[in-house]
């Protein structure tokens, strides 16, 4: 009996102890996990990381360039042309919208605490880091874009590389040579230069040649064609304050002639041809021929003035000036041609008037001689002076009959009218032929010879 009681008590004691072991083990496991988590490093928040990287407590000074007192900072640049605006000849400039990208290495911004390979930061952080003092040397006007926010990009890489991109609209100077206008090819440059850092502190260089200058797909111009070749180079500037880094790209713009053919060349050509119509109008129709000649001259003058209105007042002669001047000479010569025709056709009247005057003078001389003869017959010959006695004798002059005078006048009139008609006939062939020769010479020189010379210039 005693043995049974001892076994039952042991069984009850074991049953009471077994259910309590599970909760004890769970509590101890949680405590171990918490202790392990306390021992692992906590991940840094982005704000704490940026404060540590470039904040006030980081020791970063945006006023000091990277590698201070050391080798110069190499800044790699490239541009993306988003749009190419108007090219203005009067002010000699062009408008362009670009994405300007600069990349350099700043060892102070290298990091290892953050897992991402790069960080895209807010544009407001640009004031917290050092940036190159790049400016456009041939810039006449520029503006930033702030719609809907500042169009700027700042990206920092683990190794300390910094990518800075900004969208700009620029008005850049472009000195133009308009001697071949409107068949010219203009070369417009874009120069990127450092303003305050000499080449001992800062050096600009282009990205790889294929990616240095990119153009948006489908970019078109109203008057020009942007040629594919773009000359990349250096334009280092030397001032009395030092030697400053400068890089440039040259755009080759070939002008399209469609507008000028329609607005200037074809109308002036038609005006010249219209002036030749007077060669087929009767020479007696003076109002018609004079009115047509004056109208073409005035129209050509207005056309020539309009062609110069959109161009700067340069001192040299342009291709369009030569064309307009020759066309004006042709229409003016057509007007002078009628003046010559009209003058020649009236020459018979002048000739007949001269003949009548000569006959009248001869008749007056004969009358004077006859009067002297009769006076001498009445014994008054001694009153005459010796010089008056010259030509004494009977009268031998008799005026021709009226029919002879009429025939002579008619023959002279026909002769001079035929000469005037011959001038019109010759002009009908000479004027078009001369203008055709001028056209061949003009277009060969400016579209073939001059164009080859321009293309051969490096």
Q: What does the alpha-carbon distance between residue 272 and residue 269 come to, in Å, rounded to a whole number?
A: 5
Assess contact for 277 and 293: CB atoms under 8 A.
Answer: no
Tell me which residue has tokens 């909760």: 23
Q: What residues are paired with 203 via a beta bridge?
A: 74
Q: Which helix (H) or strand (E) holds 456?
A: helix 450-456
Measuring CA to CA, which residue among 183, 186, 180 is closest to residue 88?
186
Q: What residues are paired with 100 via a beta bridge?
A: 79, 166
Assess contact for 60 and 51: CB atoms under 8 A.
Answer: no
Q: What dihedral angle (degrees, nearest 10) is formed by the CA atoms of 135, 138, 144, 145?
A: -130
Q: What does the alpha-carbon distance between residue 301 and residue 253 come to, in Å, rounded to a whole number?
A: 30
User: pLDDT tens track of the chain, all 458 residues?
Assistant: 454 454 544 444 445 444 444 443 434 555 554 544 455 455 667 777 787 888 777 788 999 999 999 999 999 999 999 998 889 999 999 999 999 999 999 999 998 888 888 989 999 899 999 999 999 999 999 999 988 899 999 999 999 999 999 999 999 999 999 999 999 999 999 999 999 999 999 999 999 877 899 999 888 888 899 988 889 999 999 999 999 999 999 999 999 999 999 999 999 999 999 999 999 999 888 899 999 999 999 999 999 998 888 888 888 999 999 999 999 999 999 999 999 998 888 776 666 666 666 666 666 666 666 666 555 554 544 544 544 444 444 444 455 555 555 666 667 777 878 888 999 999 999 999 999 999 999 999 998 877 655 555 44
pLDDT of residue 389: 46
> Hey, is 428 helix, strand or coil?
helix
Q: What does the alpha-carbon distance between residue 75 and residue 207 come to, in Å, rounded to a whole number?
A: 9
Q: What residues are paired with 101 via a beta bridge?
A: 78, 165
The pTM assigned to this predicted structure is 0.73
pLDDT of residue 86: 85
Q: Which helix (H) or strand (E) holds 212?
A: helix 209-212
Q: What does the alpha-carbon distance between residue 266 and residue 37 come to, in Å, rounded to a whole number?
A: 88
Measuring CA to CA, which residue among 431, 310, 300 is closest to residue 318?
310
Rg (C-alpha) for the chain, rounded Å, is 50
Q: Which helix (H) or strand (E) holds 99?
A: strand 93-105
Assess contact for 195 and 164: CB atoms under 8 A.
Answer: no
Contacts 24+ apart (CB under 8 A), 221-224: 221/84, 221/87, 221/253, 222/86, 223/87, 223/255, 223/256, 223/259, 224/87, 224/186, 224/253, 224/254, 224/255, 224/256
| H helix intervals, 310-377 | 319-345, 347-375
Q: Any residues with CB less than 8 A from the CB of 75 and at least 6 apart, and which?
A: 102, 103, 104, 132, 134, 202, 203, 204, 205
pLDDT of residue 40: 46
Measuring CA to CA, which residue among 282, 292, 197, 210 is closest to residue 245?
197
């Amino acid at each position: 009996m005693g043995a049974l009681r001892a076994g039952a008590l042991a069984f009850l004691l074991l049953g009471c102890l077994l259910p309590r072991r599970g909760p004890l083990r769970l509590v101890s496991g949680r405590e171990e996990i918490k202790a392990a988590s306390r021992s692992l490093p906590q991940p840094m928040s982005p704000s704490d990381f940026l404060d540590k990287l470039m904040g006030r407590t980081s020791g970063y000074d945006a006023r000091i360039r990277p590698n201070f007192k050391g080798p110069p900072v190499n800044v790699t640049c490239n541009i993306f042309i988003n749009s190419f605006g108007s090219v203005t000849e009067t002010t000699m400039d062009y408008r362009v919208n670009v994405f300007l990208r600069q990349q350099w290495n700043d060892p102070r911004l290298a990091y290892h605490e953050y897992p991402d390979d790069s960080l895209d930061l807010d544009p407001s952080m640009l004031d917290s880091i050092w940036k190159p003092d790049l400016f456009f040397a041939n810039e006449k006007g520029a503006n930033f874009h702030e719609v809907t926010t500042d169009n700027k990009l700042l990206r920092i890489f683990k190794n300390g590389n910094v990518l800075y991109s900004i969208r700009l609209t620029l008005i850049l100077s472009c000195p133009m040579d308009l001697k071949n206008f409107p068949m010219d090819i203009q070369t417009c440059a874009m120069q990127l230069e450092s303003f305050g850092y000499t080449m001992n502190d800062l050096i600009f260089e282009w990205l790889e040649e294929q990616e240095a200058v990119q153009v948006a797909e489908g970019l078109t111009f109203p008057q020009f064609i942007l040629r594919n070749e773009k000359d990349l180079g250096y334009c280092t500037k030397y001032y009395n304050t030092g030697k400053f880094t400068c890089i440039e790209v040259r755009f080759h713009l070939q002008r399209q002639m469609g507008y000028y053919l329609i607005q200037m060349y074809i109308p002036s050509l038609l005006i010249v041809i219209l002036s030749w119509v007077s060669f087929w109008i009767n020479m007696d129709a003076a109002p018609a021929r004079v009115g047509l000649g004056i109208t073409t001259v005035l129209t050509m003058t207005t056309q020539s003035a309009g062609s110069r209105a959109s161009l700067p007042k340069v001192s040299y002669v342009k291709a369009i000036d030569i064309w307009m001047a020759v066309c004006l000479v042709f229409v003016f010569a057509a007007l002078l041609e009628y003046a010559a025709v009209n003058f020649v056709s009236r020459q018979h009247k002048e000739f007949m008037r001269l003949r009548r005057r000569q006959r009248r003078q001869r008749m007056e001389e004969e009358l004077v001689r006859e009067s002297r003869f009769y006076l001498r017959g009445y014994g008054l010959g001694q009153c005459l002076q010796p010089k008056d006695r010259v030509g004494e004798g009977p009268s031998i002059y008799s005026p021709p009959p009226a029919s002879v005078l009429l025939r002579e006048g008619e023959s002279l009139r026909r002769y001079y009218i035929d000469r005037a008609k011959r001038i019109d006939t010759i002009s009908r062939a000479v004027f078009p032929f001369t203008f055709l020769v001028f056209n061949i010479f003009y277009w060969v020189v400016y579209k073939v010879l001059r164009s080859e010379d321009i293309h051969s210039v490096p």
